[in-house]
Amino acid sequence: MMDRDVDMLIGEVERIISADGERDEKLKKICTLLHDRVEHYDWVGFYLVDREEERMLVLGPFRGEETEHTRIPFGSGICGQAAETGELFLVPDVANEKNYLSCSEKVRSEIVVPIVRGSEMVGELDIDSHRIDPFTEPDRVLLERICQMVSDIL
């Protein structure tokens, strides 16, 4: 991905967030945008920290195949580990990650970026790819910026 693609996508996400509409509609539009425009993003979804049950993630809007992992405890899988540390978690090859929850046989790599508001972890953006090791610096820049922007509406 080129820097200008990153800038263009950030601009489009900005427009989605500042437009009228429900939060979940906006999150869904962001998923669709990323899924459709970035070739190596094969599943894009938000997990939100549950308000009822402690240390639990709940699947929010997503774009891609249905997943059985609609509730993920902190510490479990790549998503749960990122929730525990509050830090970006990049897995270039899921075959090498023991604590991994598989959604589809086709997935080869994954990146999870926490969404933080103040000092509170409120959710995360999860992306699966069917390629091995496709995520580079522009992905990190793009996804971290989107998570900052999204933190305002979660």
Interface segment toward ligand SME; rule CB under 6 A; list 15-23, 25-33, 97-105, 142-150? 97-105
User: Who contacts 134 (Cβ-Cβ below 8 Å, separation ≥6)?
Assistant: 40, 109
* Residue entry with tokens 């509409």: 21
> In the complex, what is the shortest distance from the CB of residue 37 to ligand SME, in angstroms, rounded to a whole number?
19
Is 69 an interacting residue with respect to ligand SME (CB under 6 A)? yes
The 3-state DSSP class for residue 112 equals: strand
Instruction: Candidates 4-12, 48-56, 70-78, 132-140: pick the segment binding ligand SME (CB under 6 A).
Output: 70-78
Distance CA(41)–CA(121), nearest Å, equals 23
What token pair was written down for 4? 């200008």
Residue 110 lies near ligand SME (rule: CB under 6 A):
yes
Compute the distance between CA of residue 78 and CA of residue 6 in angstroms, rounded to an integer. Answer: 24
Residues that bind ligand SME (CB under 6 A): 43, 45, 67, 69, 72, 77-80, 100-101, 103, 110, 126, 128
